[in-house]
Amino acid sequence: MSSLVKNIIRFVLFILVQAFVLDKVPQLHQYVKPWLYFLFVLWLPFNLSRISIMIIAFMFGLCMDYFSGWPGLHAAPCVLIAYVRPFLLNVLLPQEKTEFSYAEPSIKSLGFAPYSVYVLILTFLHHAYLVLLEALSLQSGEFLYFIGKVTAATAISMLLIYLSELLFQRKARYRTNAA
Amino acid sequence: MRNIILFIRRFFTFFMFLVLQGISWAILVKYSKSHQAVFAEAANEVTGKVSKQYNTVEYYFELKKTNEQLVAEIKRLYDERRSSFEGADSSTQVKLDSMLRDSTHKGFRRFTYLPAKVVNNSVTNENNYITLYRGRLQGVHPDMAVVGPDGIVGRVILASDNYSRVMSLLNHKSNVNAMLKKGYVSGIVEWDGKDPSYVTLRNIPKSADVKRGDTVLTSNISEQLSYPPGIMVGTVTNVAADNAASNFFTIRVKTSTNFYSLQYAYVVQDASWAEQKKLEAQTPKN
Sorted by where each begins, the domain ranges of chain B are 176-258
Q: Could you report the per-residue pLDDT of B160-183, keeping only the tens digit for each?
A: 889 999 999 998 888 888 889 888
Say which CATH class A3-176 falls into: mainly alpha
- Whether CATH 3.30.365.10 fits B176-258: no
- Across the range A61-73, mean pLDDT stands at 86
Q: Could you report the per-residue pLDDT of B28-58, keeping only the tens digit for each?
A: 888 877 776 667 788 888 888 998 999 898 8
* Closest in B20, B43, B172 to A138, CB measured: B172
Q: How far apart are CA A114 and CA A110, in angstroms?
A: 6
CB contact under 8 A, B27 and A30: no
Q: How far apart are CA A105 and CA A53, in angstroms?
A: 14
**% of chain A surpassing 90 pLDDT:** 43
CB contact under 8 A, B124 and A83: no
Whether B200 contacts B252, CB under 8 Å: yes
A79 CB near a chain B CB, below 8 Å?
Answer: yes
B46 CB near a chain A CB, below 8 Å?
Answer: yes
The separation between CA B134 and the C-alpha centre of its own chain, rounded to angstroms, equals: 16
Q: Is the model's pLDDT at B104 over the cut of 70?
A: no
Among B154, B160, B175, smallest CA distance to B36 is for B160
Q: Could you report the per-residue pLDDT of A75-98, keeping only the tens digit for each?
A: 999 999 999 998 998 888 776 655
Shortest CA distance from B172: residue in chain A: A138
Q: How far apart are CA A57 and CA A37, in angstroms?
A: 11
Q: Could you report the per-residue pLDDT of A12-40, keeping only the tens digit for each?
A: 999 999 988 888 888 788 888 899 999 99
Q: Is the model's pLDDT at B102 over the cut of 70?
A: no
**Cα–Cα–Cα angle for A72, A74, A79, nearest 5°?**
95
B161 vs A174, higher pLDDT: B161
Q: Could you report the per-residue pLDDT of B199-221, keeping only the tens digit for each?
A: 999 888 888 888 898 999 988 77
Q: Is the model's pLDDT at A109 over the cut of 90?
A: no
Best of B28, B119, B131, B157 to mutate (most A CBs within 10 Å, chain A) = B28
From chain A, the residues in CB contact with B125 under 8 A are: 23, 33, 68-70
Q: Is the model's pLDDT at A177 over the cut of 60?
A: no
Contacts of A46 (CB under 8 A, 6+ apart): A89, A101, A102, A103, A104, A105
- Across the range B243-257, mean pLDDT stands at 86
A70 CB near a chain B CB, below 8 Å?
Answer: yes
Contacts of B235 (CB under 8 A, 6+ apart): B213, B214, B215, B216, B253, B254, B256
Q: Which residues pair with B159 in a beta bridge?
A: B164
Q: What does the pLDDT read at residue B37? A: 66
* Sequence-ordered alpha helix ranges (H) in chain A: 3-20, 39-42, 50-68, 75-92, 107-110, 112-138, 143-167
Shortest CA distance from A61: residue in chain B: B24
Q: What does the pLDDT read at residue A68? A: 84
Q: Is the model's pLDDT at A179 over the cut of 60?
A: no
Stretch 162-191 of chain B: residues touching chain A, C-beta under 8 Å: 165, 172
B284 vs B249, higher pLDDT: B249
Q: Is the model's pLDDT at B94 over the cut of 70?
A: no
- Across the range B260-269, mean pLDDT stands at 89
Q: Is the model's pLDDT at B280 over the cut of 70?
A: yes
A66 CB near a chain B CB, below 8 Å?
Answer: yes
Q: What does the pLDDT read at residue A8? A: 93
CB contact under 8 A, A26 and B46: no
User: What region does A61 belong to: left with phi over 0, alpha with psi -120 to 50, or beta?
Assistant: alpha
Q: What does the pLDDT read at residue A178? A: 44
Q: Is the model's pLDDT at A101 over the cut of 80?
A: no
pLDDT bracket for residue B8 (50, 70, 90): confident
CB contact under 8 A, A80 and B21: yes
- Across the range B118-133, mean pLDDT stands at 88
A56 CB near a chain B CB, below 8 Å?
Answer: no
Q: Could you report the per-residue pLDDT of A45-66, keeping only the tens digit for each?
A: 888 888 999 999 999 999 998 8
Shortest CA distance from A23: residue in chain B: B124
pLDDT bracket for residue A153 (50, 70, 90): very high
* Terminal C-alpha separation, chain B: 54
What is the ipTM, given to two decimal places?
A: 0.85
